[in-house]
Structures are given as structure tokens and as C-alpha cells.
Chains A and B, each alone.
Chain A
């Protein structure tokens, strides 16, 4: 159907003709047959039924459309701006008109205080548009950054995204990728081959496995488009619409009684034995949905959205069950990013600590663990949101400080009664402090054990920290939930 024919039709016939054309086109766009839904269908699946209003559906570049759908709708009754790349128009390539439409929608979201969801499926800048395309891409990036201070931004990667379509998500808060179909790369396999000679598949350069496990560029991997849109709605359910907006509070749900009863037994007595920190969260937080972000990347630290007393909270926790729960360069970046995000939108940060330390050595130093670890310190120090910290077992050295210590501005810090807080673990400390005595001993192993036990009692016990006021109280595990919720109720209340 030509442009002339379209113009001759009435408005609704025009719209359905356009829809049909987009659907027909989509089947022929690379990768062929990979897409479950058209751009319009994706938007409709994301928002509440019938709530989407498209901005400028008739706007066009070269008579084919802009290549992007923009508009607003509601998600669980709350407004959101949606920007959906339309791969059926020039493979969703970002031209000057496309970029202008995106920026107008971004500006609307900033002005009105609505979250922005980007449904990305674009090969990047539109080559024939030349410098105008690049100029437009830069404009989108600028508004991405301006929007950071105002509204949550979620990017969903639904097809092969190159160049600006991959860079814009890196300036948003959370990125969700569809396994097998979503790709993010500077440039695809053909250009990589031409540029450097490297032979690599799309999955190897920019698949969801690479980005959600190794690089950390994306934060959730999902099986298909429907799951991606469902996860986006779930993510938004924990977030305020904009900075300073009311929190989406729901009715509190007491944790599973079995999880609460087992809380005192979750942490193994022996400090070297691992356990699953999720069992602590099960016994403390509201029962029901929790959303773990970046589960595959740097798994020694957990970053989770959950609820306490119906109020959304961000949870940072060491995971002893993965790499012993250490902090390293990647875990620090992951945790710092999460603390910063929570602070920006006013989500209280609850930190659960069982950390053997920062992982030392050539590999980590080479990755810049000092710089990255410092980002975590900075994020806590700058957090404008309430920070509550619970030391459940070990907290040694710099990692003790980095996990939301009182000295970084935590509102309150509590320790479970079996916690150990010290500059270093008993073994290392004793070796350092009693080198001569140990060298001269008849039975150095026995002496070492004896001194370590003494150190544990006299130096590392949480009562030492509590007496000095550095820890606010020593509590038993079963008290954790009520202690945290009492504090949050006080900290989140408007001052009288």
C-alpha cells in the first residue's frame, strides 16, 4: 500500500492498515521470525489494558514512520512513558526524526515525573541520516542522564541492539535482556570481523549470558518477550514514580513462620562454614515477592528489592554460599550501584553482613579493587535514604566498613550475638600479634588456638563494639524484623 492510499482512508482504517503493514514488515526483519510481538503489541502487553496513548503515530520520516513508538500508559494504575523501537521500520535504526520523537517522550516523563520504559530493538544510528543521526543519539543520552535525577528508567533488550541502542541502556537504571534474542554490542559480528579480524557470534559479543553474568552490563535475563515485560512491571512495583514521590506501599505480610523459627539456626556456628543468606532474608522480610537484581553477576553479594512492613526496601547482603561472600571489584561495583540507586529514589537500604574481607591478590588489584571498593564506601556515605545494617556473623577489616558501617553514616547498626567484628580474623590477628611467642612455643598449634579463642572473646565480640557505641545494640536473630521495622517507621515518618 502506498502512502497515497493510506491518506485516502479514514482515521481508523488508516491505523489498522498501518498496523498490518508493520506486522508484515516485522516478519521480514533480521533476525527473521525471532520476534514474538510487534512494537505496538509489546507496549500493549506492558501497560494496563487500553491505557496506552501514542504520541504522533502519523509522524514519519521518508513516509515509512519514525521507527519508534512513543507515548504514555499506566502500569498498575500509575503513569509511565514508553518508548518502543519499531524494528519493522528500517530495522528500528535511529534517524533524526526517531531521535527527536524519543527526546520529546523523555522530556515529557521528566516534566511529569513518570518512569520511562525503553523497549529496545534497534541496530543503532541510521547511516543515511549521517551526522543528524549521531546528533540525535547524543540528545537521547543527554536526556537519559537528566532523567536519572528525576525518574526510574528501565531498558528492555528485545532484539539485536547496537551502538546508541546499546549505550542508552547503560545510562538507565536497570536493563532486562531476552535470552537468545536480546543482544547488546558496540557493533555486530560482521563489523567486528572487519575491524579486528576477531571471529565471534552475536551471543559471544553481546548475548544475555555475557552481559548478565560476566560483564554486568545487563541486570536480568528472561526467557522471552512476555517475561521481559512482566519483569518490568514487577520492577516498577517496588519503585516510586519519581524522586520524592510516595512509595508504593502495600499491606505488610508476616514472613513464613517456619523461616522465622529457623532464623537462630541459619548461621553455622563455625565461622568458616558457608550458608545461604536468602534464608536470613526469608525470616526477616515480608513474605511474598522479592526481586533479585544481577543474580548471575558477582554472586558473592546479593542486591534485592523486597518489602518490610509493606514498604519497599533495597537489600544488600553478603552471600557466603557464593565465593565465600567476599567483596571484590565486581561485587563492589554491583553493590555501589545498587546503594546509589536506592538512595536516589529514597528506598531504605538494609545491609546484612557476613563478610570475610576484600579478596586480595594480583588479579583483584589488577582489576582496580581499590577504586571499585571506594565506590561502595562513597555510595553509603552519600546515601540520602535510611541505612540500617545488621552484622549476622563475620565483619572483618575494610569490608566491615564497606558493608554499610555506622562510620559511613548508617542510621543504626546492630549485631547478632554471635557476630565477630575486628580488623582481622582471629587466626591472622594472633599470628601477627604473637609471632615471637608462637615461634618459641613447644606446641604452637595449641597456643595459637588458645590465643585465637581469647582474641575472639576479648576483641572480636560484638559487646566490645556495643559498649563503645559503634554498634547500637546486640540482638538475637528473632528480634531483627521488629528492630528494623521499628527503625524504618521512625526514620520514614514525617518529623512532627
Chain B
């Protein structure tokens, strides 16, 4: 069972901060989106490790799209 870090707004993927396999704590910044000239952080919904990065830099994401999947069963 993975948890998903989702885009909270339609945006351009500006920067991906983590790599697959990285350990993360809840609230850690995973990626930064760019929308309305604002840098909008995507943060980890739970502690665990990054299973999958679902987007590429420069890609457009819609509100609710999964950006990063976290496996919370393997603690950081």
C-alpha cells in the first residue's frame, strides 16, 4: 500500500527534489511545482521511502495528479 503526494493545483513541474528509493519524513519537500508564478512545494504525506516518481521536470500536472508515490511501510 503506497501513499500518494498529489499536485494541489494545475502547474508545471519545476524541480524534482528526491530520487526513487530516497527515505523521506512526513512533510519533506519532494518536488516543487510552478503555478501562478509561485513555487508550490509537494510534500510527503507520510514517512517512508520514495517508490516512484510519476512526473518529469517540465511536465504539466493537473490538480489531484500523483507526483510521487511513497511506501510508508518501510520507515525512514
Contacts and interface: CB of A to CB of B under 8 A. Distances in A.
Interface stretch (B18-26, B33-41, B47-55): B33-41
A272 interface: yes
Contacts of A272: 37-39
Contacts of B9: 323-324, 326, 359
B10 interface: yes
Summarize A's interface: helix, strand, loop or mixed: loop
- Bin the interface of chain B by size: 10 to 19
A326 B10 CA distance: 12
A427 interface: yes
Nearest to B62: A363
B10 A356 contact: no
A324 B10 CA distance: 11
B57 to A, nearest CB: 17
A323 B34 CA distance: 10
B40 A274 contact: yes
A230 interface: no
Interface string B28-69: 000000011111110000000000000000000011000000
A357 B35 CA distance: 11
30 contacts: A271-B37, A272-B37, A273-B39, A274-B40, A320-B38, A322-B8, A323-B8, A323-B9, A323-B40, A324-B9, A324-B35, A324-B36, A324-B38, A324-B40, A325-B38, A326-B9, A326-B38, A356-B36, A356-B37, A356-B38, A357-B36, A359-B9, A359-B10, A359-B36, A361-B10, A363-B10, A363-B62, A425-B37, A427-B37, A428-B37
Given A326-B9, A356-B36, 18 more contacts: A271-B37, A272-B38, A272-B39, A273-B39, A274-B40, A323-B8, A323-B40, A324-B9, A324-B36, A324-B38, A324-B40, A326-B36, A326-B38, A359-B10, A359-B36, A361-B10, A427-B37, A428-B37
4 closest A-B pairs (Cβ-Cβ)? A324-B38, A356-B36, A323-B9, A272-B39
